[in-house]
Chain A
Amino acid sequence: MKVSMEWLRELVDVNQNAEELAETLTRGGIEVENVENLNKGFEKVVIGEISSLTRHPNADRLWVCDVNLGQQNVTIVTGAQNLQAGDRIPVAMIGAALPNDLSIRKSKLRGVVSEGMLCSREELLLDASVGLDRSEGGILVLAAEAPIGENFGKYLGREDSVLDLELYPNRPDCLAMVNVAREVASLTGKQPHLPKWADTAKGLDLPVAGDFKIIIEEEELCRRYAGLVVEDVHIAPSPEWMQRKLKAAGVRPISNIVDITNYCMLEMGQPLHAFDRDKITGNIHVRSAKAGEKIVTLDGVERSLQADTLLIADDRQALAVAGVMGGFDSEVTGDTKRLLIESAHFAGVSIRRTSRRLGLRSEASNRYEKGVNPYGCVATLGRVCELLLELGAGRPVAFLDELKTLPPQRQITLSVQHTSIVLGLELKDSDIRQVLENLNFKYEEKEGIFVVEIPTYRADLEIEEDLMEEVARLMGYDLIPTTLPQGDTTQGRRTPEQDFRRRLRRVLVQSGMDEVMTYTFTGAAKDAQWGSAQHSISLLNPLREELSVMRTSLVPGLLEVAAKNTARRNTEISIFEVGTTYWGDEKPLRELPREVLRVTGVAVGKSGRHWLNSQTQYDFFYVKGILEEIVREFGLKFDYRVPENRPRLHPGRSADVYLHNECIGFLGEIHPSEEKEWALERAVVFELDLGVLFKHMRPIVRAQSIPRFPAINRDLAVVVPIDTSSAAVMTKIHKLGGELLQNVELFDVYTGKSIPEGRKSLAFSLRYQSLERTLTDEEVNNLNSRILEGIQQEFDAEWRK
C-alpha cells in the first residue's frame, strides 16, 4: 500500500516527517518498506523562460540561450532544434542530479560557458503526457502558463513523499487511507479527521431503485451487493488534485468516473466497479459461470471461464468477472449517460482462485483476496455520491443493497490481570483504558475486566490475545521487561542418536574429510543411477527438472560437488555429508514416506605436494581407512564382501559393507564407464546407512587394563594364491592363536621377484601375551608353528622364511 503523506495529512494530524512516521509505524507493527521522495531528481530543476536564443558562434548545430529563471538569468548552450524565444522549459541547474542519474556541472561548449542544462522528457524520465507535442525529440516545452522560477517537481505535483507499507496478512484494513489514518492516530495519540462516510453505519439518503433487482445466487461467495444508479453522467478528466493523489498511490488517472471509483477504493478500502447502466438488460445476477461460458474483459481479451468463476451478469450475459475485471461490453465510455456503480463483498478464496487462473491481478482483486469489510459497502457509495456531485460527474438517483448474512459484530473480553501475566508487564486499568481510547474502540469496564466492541474494519481482532497485542504494541514492546521462566530448572541434553550423528561427523572431519551440504532434491535420472527410481518421490511443482525428485542416494550430489571442484582446479577432494534420503513405498503417496539418514563420502585426487610428506592417494584404501575410523569410534566390526550388484562401481575395487550380517552400504571406485559422465578420474565413494550403525554402536567404551606381563612378538610370512583374501587368513590366525594371541597386524603384501607367478606374500606381525604370567619362548614357538600349519592346510600356503 502506497500512502501519500500529503493525502495522509488531510486525514490525521501528523507532526513527524515521512521518515520519522515510517519509524513510528514500523515500531508499531505496520512495516514501512520504503519511503519514496517523489521529487527525487527534480530538486534542482526549475521552470525557465527562453528570453532569446542565438546561433553558437563556433558551432552550427548549437544554440546559446538566455534563460530567465525568475530570480536570475543564466546562459545555457543546447543542441536541441525545437525551441523558440518565449518557450517555458525545465532547467537543470548546476549541481542537479537528474532522475536518469545525470549530474549537471558547469561546462564550456566550444568556448561558450553553459550554466546548466535544458532538459528533455527522456532525461527527466517523463512520458508524453507532460508538455507540448513539439517536445518530441527535443527539449521538453511546457504550457505557456507554467510559472517561471517554480520548482519543476512542484509544478508536476511531485513534492509529496510516499510510504510503501508492507502489510502482514492480518492487516488488510490498512489497504484503506482512512484506516491508515486511524492507525497513525492510535500510535501517535492524535485524533483522525475522516470523511463522515468512514463511519460504516451511515446510510444513503436515496430512493431504492425499482426498475431492476440484484439476485445473489452464490450466497457463500457474495455476502453483499450494493449498486448505485447515476444519471446525467458527464465524462471528463478528473481534477488535478485527484489525479495527483491517484498517481502518488500508483494508480493511473483515466476519467472522472473511473478515478472516483479508484479514489474511493484507496480511501475507504472498498473496491468499486462502474457499469454503463444502459448496457445492462434486466436484473443483476451474482452467479457462477456456466460450462463453456466466455467473456471479453476490459482489456479486449476473450476469456473462457471455469465453472466456479464468480460472475456479475445481467439477464442475458456476463458483465464482469466478479472482483477481478469488468467486461468490455458494459464498460464506461465517453458516451455513457447512466451508470451502475457496484460496491460488493466477494469471498477472498474465490477471487484469489480466479485471478490466479486468469493471470489478472488488480488493486481490487488484491483487496478482496486479503479481506474487505462487508459493512462498508453502502457507506463507500455515500462517499462516491459526494464526489460525483463535487466533480459534476453525474447525479446519483437511486440505490439497491442486497444483503446476505454478515459476520457478527464482535465483542472481546480483556482481563487486565491475564494480560499482565501473559505480557509479563504490570498493567493498571488506566493503561488499558488509554490504549482503547487511542484505538477509538468502545468498551465497558468492570473491576479490571474490559468488554471491548471491535469495529468492523478490524476483522483481525478475534480473541483476547489479539487485544493483548494491541495493548503491547500501542504501549510499546520496549516496555516489556526481560525475565527468565520461573519453573523448575530443566536439563538439556542430546538424545543418544543426536549424539551419535555429532560424533560421526567429528570422526570424519578428524579423518580429514570436508563436510559439504547439497540439495536434497535432484534430477530423476541422476538419482535413479545410484538410488532407487522405484522409491523416489517426485515434486508436483519443482523449480526445474534437476531439482524434481527427493533423493534416495547422496552419491550423485556429492559426485557433482567433486566434479565442480575438479573443474575449478580444487584437486584435493575428500568430502562427506550426513543427510537424509526419502523413500516412498507407494505412488501416489498417501502416508508420509520414510526418511533414512545416510553418510556418504567421495574422495578423488591426492593430497597436495609437500617437501616432507609423500602425497596421499585418495584411493580405495584411503577411504577404507576412514571407514575403519568409524569402526574404531563406535566399537563396530565391518565385513567387506565382494559386491553382488553394484554396476556403477569398479568390480575389482569395490565392496559391500556388512555389519552383523546386514548389508549397510558400499565402498568402491566408480566404474571406469562412469568417469566420463562425471569428468572424474578414479573417484572413490562410500555410502552407509546411519540407522544400522547406530543400532549396533557401542554406547560407552569399556576400559581394559594394561597387561603386566611382557609380550612376545613373532613375524610370520606366508605365500598364498594371489586371490586369497587377507582378511580370511587374518581371521584364521586369530582363531588358531586363541586368547594368548593378543594382536595381529598385516605389515607387508608383496608380489614379484622371488614369489612365483600367481601367488603373493603376506607378512603378519603377531603379538602373544598372557594376562596371568610370563610366556615362555617354547610355548610361543609351538603356537606359532600350529598357526603356520593351519594356514598351510587351509590356504595352500607356503612358509616364507
Chain B
Amino acid sequence: MKKEILRIGEEALRELQQLDKSEALQELKVKVLGKKGTLTALLRQMGSLSPEERPVMGQVVNEMRSRLEKAWEERSAELEAIALEKRLAAERIDISLPGSRVARGHYHPLTQVVEEIEDIFLGMGFQIAEGPEIESDYYNFEALNLPKDHPAREMQDSFYITEEILLRTQTSPVQIRTMEKLRPHLPVKVIAPGTVYRNDDDATHSPMFHQVEGLMVDQGIRMSDLKGILLNFSRQMFGESREIRLRPSFFPFTEPSAEVDVSCMLCGGAGCRLCKGTGWIEILGSGMVHPKVLEMGGYNPKEVTGFAFGMGVERIAMLKFGIEDMRLLFDNDLRFLQQF
C-alpha cells in the first residue's frame, strides 16, 4: 500500500511540473486529492489495515498529501507569474504618444498682472476701489487740483463726450470718490485698478490702457511710508533683490511728487538694453497727496496726510513678460495669448 501511495504521489508530482495552465492544475488536484481522487480512495482502504499499521500508513499519506499541496501551490504561483509576465508584455504602450487633450483656456496677460498687483496690495491691507470710466471733468481734473486751463491738463489728451463728461484719463478720480465715500473714516487704504483713455495711438501708446492707482490717508503718513510700501510691492512683483529709487517729479495732485524707478530686472542694475544702460527702469509715479486734494475729498490736511501712486499695467506686463510691442496686448492673436 505504501508503494501504491508513493507511486500515485510521484506520478502526480511529475505530471504537475508539465502542466502550464492553472485550470489543468486544478483538474489534476481534484483527480488526486478530491473526494473521488486516487489518493483519497487509497485512504479509504486504510480500514483494512491492522491497528499498528494504520498510524504508519496515515503518516505516509499525510506526508504525501502535504508534499503534493506544496508543489501545487508552488506550481500555480509559477504559472501566475508567467501569466502576469505575458499580460504585461502584451499591454505595453508607446509612452511617447501625446497625452489626452485637456481643454484649458488662458487668462489675458493684463488680467494676470492686475490680479497679481491686487493680491500684493490686498496682502498689505489695501482694499480694491472702483470708479466709472466715463467720468465728469470735476472728478477727472478739477478735484485733482487741475482747474480748467491748467497747463498740466495738456499732458493728457482726453476723449470728450460733452464739455463736462469725458473718458477718464487716469484712475486718480477714484481717489476723490473713495475719500468722499469713506470720510471721516481712517485709514483710507485702497488701490483702484481700471481702464483709462488718452487720445493717442502709436507704437508706444494705446488709446485705451490700464492703470492701478493707490491711495493711503491716515494720521502721520510719511513719504518714507510710500517708499516702504512701493519697495515691498516692487520686490514681490519683480523679485526679492530689487531696489527702488525716487526722483523728483510733478503731478498736480501730489506734493512732493516722485517718479519711482526699480533696479533693472534683466541686468540687476549693471546696465543693459532694457534699462538703456542706466540700471534703472521707471515703473510708476507717486507722491504725497496734495493738501487741496485731501480737502476736496473731505479730509482736513492739517490732521491727516497721505500718499498716492499710479502705475501703468501694460508697462508692468511688458516688463514682467518681456513683451516688446505693446500693441500685441490688444491684438488678441491667440498664438500670443495662449503663451500665458
Contact = CB atoms under 8 A, between A and B. Distances in A.
Interface string A475-506: 00110111111110111111100100010010
Given A480-B223, A483-B225, A543 B199 contact: yes
Interface stretch (A269-277, A427-435, A507-515, A783-791): A507-515
Interface in B217-252: 218-225, 227-229, 231-232, 245-250
Nearest to A547: B207
B185 to A, nearest CB: 11
| Residue picked from B108, B186, B332, most chain A C-beta under 10 Å | B332
B335 A509 contact: no
Given A480-B227, A537-B134, A511 B208 contact: no
A349 B167 CA distance: 23
Contact of A28 (B106, B248, B256): B248
Contact of A424 (B105, B115, B224, B332): B224
Contact of A423 (B161, B216, B223, B249): B223
A657 B100 CA distance: 33
Nearest to B125: A490
Contacts of B305: 421-422
Nearest to B126: A492
A465 B290 contact: yes
Given A487-B218, A595-B132, A565 B101 contact: no
B96 to A, nearest CB: 12
B326 interface: no
A514 B245 CA distance: 38
A371 B151 contact: yes
B318 interface: no
A405 interface: no
Number of chain B interface residues as a range: 35 or more
A700 interface: no
Contacts of B335: 568, 570
A481 B226 CA distance: 10
B103 A607 contact: yes
B97 interface: yes
Given A480-B246, A516-B337, A539 B105 contact: no
A502 B118 CA distance: 12
Contact of B247 (A29, A172, A516, A593): A29
Nearest to B210: A517
B105 A511 contact: yes
Interface of chain A: mostly helix, strand, loop or mixed = loop
B166 to A, nearest CB: 9
A484 B227 CA distance: 8
B128 A582 contact: no
B225 A541 contact: no
A489 B125 contact: yes
A477 B105 contact: no
Contacts of B334: 514, 565, 570, 572-573, 575
B338 interface: yes
Contacts of A482: 224, 227-228, 231
Given A349-B149, A493-B122, A517-B110, A472 B218 contact: no
Nearest to B135: A592
B100 A612 contact: yes
B255 A588 contact: no
Contact of A515 (B152, B154, B224, B337): B337
Interface in B242-298: 245-250, 255-258, 288, 290-291
A369 B152 CA distance: 11
Nearest to A490: B125
A201 B222 CA distance: 39
Contact of B220 (A486, A489, A575): A486
Contact of A517 (B108, B228, B333): B108
B47 interface: no
B75 interface: no
A540 to B, nearest CB: 4
B104 A512 contact: yes
Contact of B245 (A421, A478, A517): A478
B207 A424 contact: no
B124 interface: yes
Contacts of A29: 247-250
A490 B187 contact: yes
Interface stretch (A384-392, A518-526, A671-679): A518-526
Nearest to B230: A482
A502 B225 contact: no
A646 interface: no
Given A469-B257, A480-B223, A485 B250 contact: no
Interface in A642-685: none
Contact of A550 (B134, B135, B207, B330): B134
B160 A540 contact: yes
A463 B254 CA distance: 12
B325 interface: no
B114 to A, nearest CB: 10
Nearest to B194: A580
A611 interface: yes
B333 A565 contact: yes
Contacts of B103: 511-512, 607, 616
A743 interface: no
A381 interface: no
B224 A469 contact: no
User: What are the 9 tightest A-B residue pairs by CB atom distance, in nearest-first order?
Assistant: A424-B224, A29-B248, A424-B222, A512-B103, A469-B256, A168-B250, A492-B122, A490-B125, A473-B248
Given A424-B222, A539-B161, 11 more contacts: A352-B149, A424-B225, A469-B257, A482-B227, A483-B225, A487-B220, A492-B127, A495-B128, A537-B134, A543-B201, A589-B165
24 contacts: A348-B149, A422-B305, A423-B224, A424-B222, A424-B227, A463-B255, A468-B288, A480-B223, A481-B224, A481-B227, A483-B222, A483-B228, A515-B111, A517-B108, A517-B110, A541-B199, A564-B332, A564-B333, A565-B334, A575-B332, A592-B136, A612-B97, A612-B98, A613-B101
Interface of B: 97-98, 100-101, 103-108, 110-111, 115, 118, 121-128, 130, 132-136, 149-152, 154-155, 159-162, 165, 167, 186-187, 189, 195, 199, 201, 207-208, 216, 218-225, 227-229, 231-232, 245-250, 255-258, 288, 290-291, 305, 329-330, 332-335, 337-338
